[in-house]
Amino acid sequence: MVIKTKFILLVGFLLIMLAAVGCKESINDIDNDNYDKTNTNTTQKDVVLEFWTWSPIDEIISKFESDNPGIKINTKLLDYFQCKEEYMKALTNGDGPDVLMFYSDMFGLYTVDGVLQDLLEEPFNAEKYQKDFPRWDGGLSIDNKHLLSLTYTTAPQVTLYRTDVMKENGFPYEPEEMAKYLENPDNILSIATKLKQKNKYIFQWPYDLPNVVRFSMGTFDKDLNSIEHGELMNKALDITKTAFKNKMILNGNLWTEEGQEAIKDNQLVMLLDANPYAVNELEKLAPEQKGLWRLTKPSLGMASWQFDNRISINARSKHKEQAWKFIEYLVTHKTDIIYDKHSIPEYLPARQRLKEDYYIDAYLGNQNILNIFNELGNKMIPYKLTPMDEKANGIYGQGIWDAVERGTNSDEDIKKIFQNINKQLGEEKKHYSING
């Protein structure tokens, strides 16, 4: 049971860790106790905005200050793992910065209690942007009445795989061919079965395939009802049970010692449940495998969302109009500067301005990944972020693990998992509904 819990906690931390590797500069090289010293040349007439983030965007800030005389930005850079605690402490104490950048799983915690500014109010009038932000609903308050954030960048879930290994074993190895092949659940088992004979793995955890399905729909709808995931989720769980029974699951990933060793030893050769930022980590971990990995669409024909980076204004800010100018500048990508090629702007006009040559990834054998990102970005279904997501994820993860170990009927297993979510979070859901 201890080992099982450890696995679940590791998966829970996966998205958090992936966010940190997307920064242009290494967070470890930053003095997290100090504000950025580059923007302190102010006058008495300047408005100074305090901006908290884990990802430095110095070049964009410099251009914003040049384009908006009289507004200066003081950036406080936090280690990502400090953000949740520091943001919560500052906002609940009634102080904190003017502007905050949120990772999507963290943002859900702040969709209640009025700590973030409603961007639908005067003078912001953010509704003018609604048609240009496909994941608009993800920024709404728990009661769907207030817009609390806009998305800066977003990324889909992807599959990463070793093209050389697939080719050597007679499987499709070009990205489009592989995506098509992985649409068929039986083909996924075929790859896993053949490669297991050579001590190679494509499953990291029992959650891989179920996550691909779940991330395409979310957990709660806008009315906080649990979303039924249908027959495809049952099939994903069936495949996982077969893989588990035949010892085809590594039980380690890119963020664990077991998984890292397996990648370096050419044993873990596919990441079915992957964040695009994982490419950065692969490059650090296994530089000798440069040119051998490729990126393609998620398995089972899904277009699954992986994360957003969101921007919000503190409801207690004394400089809301200037903060709104800064947010508009960021989310509409006035500079067209992209800090990592493994995400894309949420703002549709900015996507149309993206340059393909920037999205050619040398580690992925000079693969152009922009077309895949754009295709998935256009298909990803927006879904609601809530304060209950973290708890729901824990219940879901435990339920998947238990179901795989039991080997029981998958349809009944999935129903039981979501019954447990409804039961354990019922009072919390009722509270949010009443206060909505």
By residue count, the chain amounts to 436
pLDDT score of 258:
97
Q: Average pLDDT of 36-56?
A: 74
pLDDT score of 205:
97
Q: Residue 407 pLDDT more than 50?
A: yes
Written as one letter, the residue type at 322 is Q
pLDDT score of 41:
52
- Between 30-44, 121-135, 209-223, 266-280, the lowest mean confidence (pLDDT) is in 30-44
Q: Residue 155 pLDDT more than 70?
A: yes
Query: In angstroms, rounded to a whole number, what is the distance separating the alpha carbons of residues 207 and 275?
Result: 14
Q: How far is CA 211 from the centre of its chain?
A: 12
Q: Average pLDDT of 252-273?
A: 97
Query: Which tokens in the block code for residue 358?
Result: 């920037």
Strand 158-162 with 293-296, pairing: antiparallel
pLDDT score of 268:
99
Q: Is 379 helix (H, G, I), strand (E, B) or coil?
A: helix
Higher pLDDT, 1 or 135: 135
Query: Which tokens in the block code for residue 62?
Result: 């410099």
| 28: nearest Cα among 17, 18, 38, 20 | 20
Place of tokens 């304060």: 387
Would you tell me how many other CB atoms lie within 10 Å of the CB of residue 148? 26
- Residues 6+ positions from 159 with CB-CB distance below 8 Å: 178, 179, 182, 270, 271, 272, 274, 295, 296, 297, 298, 299
Q: Residue 333 pLDDT more than 70?
A: yes
- DSSP designation for 251: S
Query: In angstroms, rounded to a whole number, what is the distance separating the alpha carbons of residues 208 and 188?
Result: 12
CA torsion angle for 288, 289, 290, 296 (degrees, to 10)?
A: -170
Domain 9-155+306-379, what fold? Answer: D-Maltodextrin-Binding Protein; domain 2 (3.40.190)
Higher pLDDT, 83 or 38: 83
* Per-domain residue ranges of the chain: 9-155+306-379
Q: Residue 70 pLDDT more than 90?
A: yes
Query: In angstroms, rounded to a whole number, what is the distance separating the alpha carbons of residues 330 and 332?
Result: 6
Query: In angstroms, rounded to a whole number, what is the distance separating the alpha carbons of residues 63 and 41?
Result: 15
Q: What is each CA distance from 57 to 101, 148, 266, 407, in whole angstroms?
A: 11, 22, 35, 48
- Asked whether the CA dihedral 397, 400, 404, 408 is positive or negative, the reply is positive
Query: In angstroms, rounded to a whole number, what is the distance separating the alpha carbons of residues 261 and 187?
Result: 26
